[in-house]
Amino acid sequence: MLLSDIFSRQAIKPNLEAATKEGVFTELIEVIAAVHPEMNRVEMFSAIQDRENKMNTSVAPGVAVPHGCYPGTDEIIGAIGISKTGIDYDALDRKPVHFVFLLLMGESAREKHLRILNRVLALINSGALGYMRAASNPEEVYEILSRFR
């Protein structure tokens, strides 16, 4: 499964406006709702916030992967947000987060999400985030994602 299978072109926001964790959740949930209008915004936010309340989802310097179980799907649905200025995410290293990979999954897809997390970590370790940060549109970010298996 490719990262580009999870994060569609329409679900990439290369210029996040929000400066807080909750604001970013709301902004990326709106992106998902535009692609999947059948999904409930309140339930998506609740799924993400419930998981975040258990443990902060910053996974590497400048990167967070908020995720949660959403009962309305059997697949994994994601959105990517990139902040040029940084987000106050309460990260363990106390530094701002610039990349947010938001994931929603059904119960049957929980095991797959670990593979997706591994692919996101490979993307981070590859140095591709610098190219993603410089991208000016969703298409450029999508092309970078499509190279990772």
pLDDT digits 0-9 by tens, 10-29: 999 999 999 999 999 999 99
In the chain, the DSSP E strands lie at 12-13, 58-60, 63-64, 67-69, 76-87, 97-105
Provide the residue range defining the domain that includes 103: 3-145
Average pLDDT, the chain: 92
pLDDT tens string 92-141: 899 999 999 999 998 877 778 788 888 889 999 998 999 999 998 999 99
CATH value at residue 15: 3.40.930.10
Number of domains present in the structure of the chain: 1
Confidence of residue 44 (pLDDT cuts 50, 70, 90): very high
Q: Are 64 and 57 in contact (CB under 8 A)?
A: yes
